[in-house]
Structure 1
Amino acid sequence: MRLFKTLDIDFMGWRRPAVIASVVISVLLVGSMIVRGFDFGLDFTGGTVIEVGYEEPTELATVREALEGGGFSGAIVQYFGSRRDVVIRLPLQAAGQDPSAELSDRVFRALSAASDGEVELRRAEFVGPQVGEELREDGGLAMLFALIGILIYVAVRFEWRFAVGAVIATIHDVVVTIGVFSVFQIEFNLAVLAAVLAVIGYSVNDTVVIFDRIRENFRRIRKGTVIEIVNRSINETLSRTIITGGTTLLVVLALYIFGGEVLSGFSLALIIGILIGTYSSIYVATATVVWLGISKADLIPPPKEGAGADARP
């Protein structure tokens, strides 16, 4: 399916200002990550997660007041599916160091005393600070191994210039996605980390589609400069990019709007990743390949040995 019959947009004509903007934004976001850091969730810092169910729909402000009255200041309160289901996240400072059942019992008693209806304690989980630190390290290693795998895959399937471009674009997407969480101090938890890993896969998929068309056109089109062939390849895959990105974005937007606070960080990371991944496939990955000096000779397979030996004069 094609949205456009014939396009002739000079994408590579804008590669210099686009790359300059990407570099400036990336530097600013890295600076924010260094200076401000992240608002890590309980998955990474440690604490207690308690899920309770109310007989009637309740307000989060009422739950927070009940917790503060019980001595649990700094608690994070969110709906979990409906207005009767509430998840309470207590950082270590608020929960203390005791992971025993006494903490959940104290929270349950405080909520029950402040509620007119019945309150049900559904689950209570404790994450220690050591476990949180291990999760941070494992998450960083997961992203590192993903980048190494991408480098190897693209280098084997295409050519080393394409591999470098794909990895640089993927790093750019990760930096921009998590940098937004640092700038606005949005909670960064395991769900967001999962979304970042999904963004890596999505970005690489979009990049490989463009690379594949570039390789095909280099072998098929005898005339034309590198810039002309690259522009033609991007224009030919633009319909596919818009359809795939647009439909995915609609689903993620619905998840962000109607999924509640529990899924807001996950869906926000995907929204940023889809948008920036589409951009970087053209103006970071492909532009890098062009600057590295790709040519037709690099993509045309060499003739097989002995291919002309059987030819008769």
Structure 2
Amino acid sequence: MFQILKAEKVIDFMRWSKWTMILSILMIGGSIFSLSTKWLNWGLDFTGGTLIEVGFQQPAQLEEIRTALEAKGFGDATVQNFGSSRDVMVRLRPREGVAGEMLGHQILDAITQGTGETVEMRRIEFVGPNVGDELAENGGLAIIASLICILLYVSARFQWRLAAGAVLALAHDVIITLGVFSFLQIEVDLTIVAALLTVVGYSLNDTIVVFDRIRENFRKMRKGTSAEIMNSSITQTLSRTLITSGTTLLVVIALFTQGGANIHGFALALLLGITVGTYSSIYVASALALKLGITKEHLIIPEVEKEGAELNEMP
């Protein structure tokens, strides 16, 4: 009978925590700079405007439609397929002094004249700017409320140092994702807000798994510094993190490349958020908790002496 001893190979993640912290600060600084100078390219859901759906008898040529609209003074129009290659959705920002219905007929005439095809009007919708402001405010409040609830939950389940690391890591993910959208001036609509909330939940789930193993090892491992215990915990959960993130990214990449223009922004937000969230679970949440001075004493449950224990021990 042979006994096989398998030594665990621990990756020294915390060795690079200083450099990854600098990288995170640079990314957050760049995101804040872009947000403060360019801000976000709000979509019609937030700015208001007109949405027009038209139908073609043959597959629509989007570039031809864009050229036709630009020739009539509608160069800012967003043109994309909706549902099928014969259905086209045109979105326009508000125009002063022009009613939504009149604007719809102008767009229809411009497309008909520019393409020479018979075009059918399917739908015209107008979103007012007041509704858009309310949606933007509610979306921001939803993200802030989720971060506060997460802070309370992690504080109650683990310890405030871990909770602070988790919430700062989530804020890190959201800010960097918004910074990329600001830098590239990608249109932000309600699906992007939904994607950001999804990223918050996904990143938190990964962080909770790592923290749960950290707490377990702090109580179980008698030797080792806090950094060594964290390295061991992250190494033990690394395979789970990579498999979960990898399989999720495969689906998101498929949505990004094959899902069409309607969910392009949603898929991009998930792609950025999951990638940055996987990184932040290791090098932001755990590293910040270590910087805040997390030790074994903070996570070990104190033993409570039972009343009468001394009397029972007496002969």
- TM (norm. structure 1) is 0.92
Q: State how far apart, in whole Å, the 1-side matches of 2:36 and 2:138 are.
A: 20
Which whole-Å CA distance do the structure 1 matches of 2:283 and 2:130 have between them?
41
> 2 CA distance for matches of 1:68 and 1:28?
34
CA distance in 1, matches of 2:67, 2:200: 41
Shift of 1:66: 3.2
State the match for 1:174 in structure 2.
174
- 1:52 match: secondary structure: strand
Q: Point out the more displaced range, 296-305 or 43-52.
A: 296-305
Q: Counterpart of 2:77 in structure 1: which amino acid?
A: A
Question: What does residue 16 of structure 2 align with?
Answer: 14
Matched to 1:274, the amino acid is I
Letter in 2 for 1:189: D
Q: How does 1:221-236 map to 2 (within 5 A)?
A: 221-236=221-236
Residue 102 of structure 1 deviates from its aligned partner by 3.0
Give the aligned partner of residue 127 of structure 1: 127
State the partner residue of 1:147: 147
Q: Which secondary structure state, in structure 2, belongs to the residue aligned with residue 141 of structure 1?
A: helix
Which stretch has the larger CA shift, 138-147 or 71-80? Answer: 71-80
CA 1:97 to 1:192, structure 2 compared with 1: closer, same or farther past 3 Å?
farther
Q: How does 1:32-71 map to 2 (within 5 A)?
A: 32-71=34-73
**Alignment TM-score, normalising by the size of structure 2:** 0.92
Partner SS, residue 256 of structure 2: helix
Q: 1:69 to 1:183 in 2, by over 3 A?
A: closer
Within 2, Cα distance between the matches of 1:79 and 1:119?
14
Structure-2 residue corresponding to 1:190:
190
- Structure 1 residues 106, 288: CA separation in 2 closer, same or farther (over 3 Å shift)? same
**Matched pairs, number:** 307
Q: CA deviation at 1:87?
A: 1.0
Q: 1:248 to 1:87 in 2, by over 3 A?
A: same
Residue identity in the other structure for 2:313: R
- How far apart, in 2, do the equivalents of 1:19 and 1:59 lie? 48
Do the aligned residues in 1 keep the contact of 2:100 with 2:125 (CA within 8 Å)? no
Partner in structure 2 of residue 312 of structure 1: 313
Q: Answer with 47-56 or 247-256: which moved more.
A: 47-56
Distance 1:23 1:100, change over 3 A: closer
> Any gaps of 5 or more consecutive residues in structure 1?
none
Aligned to 2:284: 284
Give the 5 Å matches for 1:66-145. 66-93=68-95, 96-145=96-145
The verdict on how the C-alpha distance between 1:89 and 1:212 changes in structure 2, with shifts beyond 3 A counting, is same
Q: Which runs of 5+ in 2 are unaligned?
A: 1-6
In angstroms, what is the RMSD of aligned CA positions?
Answer: 1.9
Q: What residue number does 1:201 align with?
A: 201
State the identity as a percent.
52
Cα distance in 2 between the residues matched to 1:241 and 1:43: 35
How far, CA to CA, are the matches of 2:239 and 2:72 in structure 1? 57
Distance 1:307 1:241 in 2: 45
Q: Give the Å deviation of 1:234.
A: 0.1
Q: Is the 8 A contact 1:99 1:126 kept in 2?
A: no
What are the Cα deviations for residues 252-296 of structure 1, in whole angstroms up to 9, with x where unaligned?
A: 000000011221111111101011000001111000111111111
The one-letter code of the counterpart of 2:261 is E
Say yes or no: does 1:249 pair with 2:249: yes
Give the partner amino acid of 2:163: A
Conserved 8 A contact 1:29-1:179? yes
Q: Is the 1:81–1:260 Cα contact (8 Å) retained in structure 2?
A: no
Gap change, CA 1:97 and 1:144, over 3 Å in 2:
farther
Deviation by residue 1:109-164 (Cα, 9 ceiling, x = unmatched)? 43344445442322221111111111111111111101101100100111111110
